[in-house]
Amino acid sequence: MLLEAKFTNIGEWKAILQAIGDIVEEAMFICNQDGITFRGVDPAHVALLDITFPKSSFTLFDCHATFFGISVSDFKNILSSASNDDEVGLIIDSPHKMRISINGNLQMKYDLNLIERSEVTTQIPKIEATSKISLSPDILAKIMANIERVSENVTISSIPEKIQFSGSGNTGKAEVDLEKNNTELSLLEVTKDSSSVYSLEFMAKIIRNIGKASKNVNMEYGTETPMHMLFEMPSMTKVEYFLAPRIEN
């Protein structure tokens, strides 16, 4: 047996698979005694997603070191059969197939063909962060939606007293300010005034997908540096997202 695992944090898995599917069509996972991990980058090398499902996030976990690939859309399609009250089981006992069981009011079983292994080494970018902020995912999603009304990009600027999200386009300009004493802002730590521009196509999508299953979003960045986002998940699953800045000429 290469892998036998069961989990009940189904909402998290659905949200994470949606996020993975936004950057790659086929996902390669590494499995060992500590848990299951995924790291992938989109074809344009703009966004990097780093996921760890720790052993503690499973109700049952037994794994020998292995590496397996799946079609993200196929796995998402199967998992869509599960409700949040169900338990999902994963079994891999050959390199070619994963057996999936969904146990609740209905007992469902699926076989999912695995994809031939392909290894890609992706390094985590180093960020010299001069600003750190922490927000609820609901507020962050609302801010992104407001900026999206007029712009394809979001400029995030922070000073010790406040953080500003802004964007502009053909229809006009939008700004959202959060003062340091705003109750929605659980952390604003600025060692140096910071400002960077990021693609809303990537940023808003990850916030909507992962945010709906997370408790809090921690962000750190500097001037014209990648954005590092850490999503706090109820099950202690680690979700980290790195987004390259747009450098204005």
pLDDT at 105 over 70: yes
- The pLDDT score that the predictor gives to residue 222 is 96
Is the pTM value of this prediction over 0.95? no
Percent of the chain with pLDDT over 90: 89
Question: What tokens were used for 237?
Answer: 């699953």
List the single range of 62-66, 83-87, 99-103, 238-242 with lowest mean pLDDT: 62-66
Axis crossing angle, helix 137-148 with helix 200-211, rounded to the nearest 10: 150
pLDDT at 84 over 80: yes
* C-alpha–C-alpha distance, residues 60 and 217, integer Å: 28
**pLDDT tens across 149-197, in order?**
999 999 999 999 999 999 999 999 999 999 999 998 999 999 999 999 9
- Sign (positive or negative) of CA dihedral 102, 236, 62, 1: positive
From the number of C-beta atoms within 10 Å of its C-beta (0-12, 13-18, 19+), residue 105 rates as exposed
- The pLDDT score that the predictor gives to residue 132 is 97
**pLDDT tens across 187-232, in order?**
999 999 999 999 999 999 999 999 889 999 999 999 999 999 999 9
- The pLDDT score that the predictor gives to residue 249 is 60
- The pLDDT score that the predictor gives to residue 239 is 96
> Helix %, strand %, coil % for the chain, to 5?
20, 45, 35
Class of the CATH-defined domain 3-113: alpha beta
Percent of the chain with pLDDT over 70: 98
| Nearby residues of 220 by Cβ (< 8 Å), 6 or more positions away | 127, 129, 131, 132, 133, 227, 228
E-only strand ranges, 24-123? 26-32, 35-41, 47-54, 60-63, 66-71, 87-94, 97-103, 107-113
CATH 3.10.150.10-classified regions of the chain: 3-113, 131-243
pLDDT at 75 over 90: yes
Which CATH number applies to 131-243? Answer: 3.10.150.10
